[in-house]
Amino acid sequence: MLATSTVSNLYMGGKIVAGFLERDLILKSTSMTTGKIINLLSGFIYGGEKHVEDTIMRLDIRHKLEVIESYLKTMPDKISRSKRRHSSNAMLIQDNNTLLIAMQGVSEMIDRIHVCLDNIQRKIIEHNDKYVSWLYGANVMGELSNLERCVHNLDNRFKLFMAIK
């Protein structure tokens, strides 16, 4: 009987450790991507595309990402404090799994925002390299729509994450 209890505790302990490792990977990935986005926005080449600049400013991406990253970095403290409140390891694992799923959703949207901004930047640079670029603006309306959707989804996923915690 004691051996079954020990095996069960080791299994639960392993799941908790795996959850913490996964959380740390998500945090590092999110932090790296957020840093890339902030660097990209700092040196963003608008190429005279006022609507691109206006959209990026209206979406307030930089500030949102700084707040989200700062909050996510405090998660290890919040999770370790929540561990003390739970009476069973099974409940802690379930709560951690839910938080990890929500964190993955936030991280995924941050990655998509990075891809959208990269695509916009690439299209503007390619357009500016063309001989007749002064005649018309870069066509980035589709990319701007994608960016707006991604920022909207990020807002919703972060609200859900906050409601879960």
Average pLDDT over residues 57-73: 92
Mean pLDDT of the chain: 79
Least confident segment among 17-21, 129-133, 138-142: 17-21
Neighbour count for residue 136 (Cβ, 10 Å): 9
Question: How much of the chain, in percent, has pLDDT values that exceed 90?
Answer: 35
Average pLDDT on 25-35 reads 86
Whether residue 33 contacts residue 111, with contact meaning beta carbons closer than 8 Å, is answered with yes
Q: What is the pLDDT of residue 8?
A: 46
Residue ranges in the chain assigned as alpha helix (H): 2-42, 50-59, 61-73, 75-85, 89-128, 141-164
- What would the mean pLDDT of 37-50 be, rounded to a whole number? 81
pLDDT at 5: 54
Listed ranges 9-23, 85-99, 120-134; the one with the highest mean pLDDT: 120-134
Residue 110 has pLDDT above 80, yes or no: yes
pLDDT digits (tens, 9 = 90+) for 73-106: 887 655 554 544 544 444 444 567 888 889 999 9
Tokens standing for 45? 């080449």
Residue found under tokens 């040196």: 43
Q: What is the pLDDT of residue 148?
A: 97
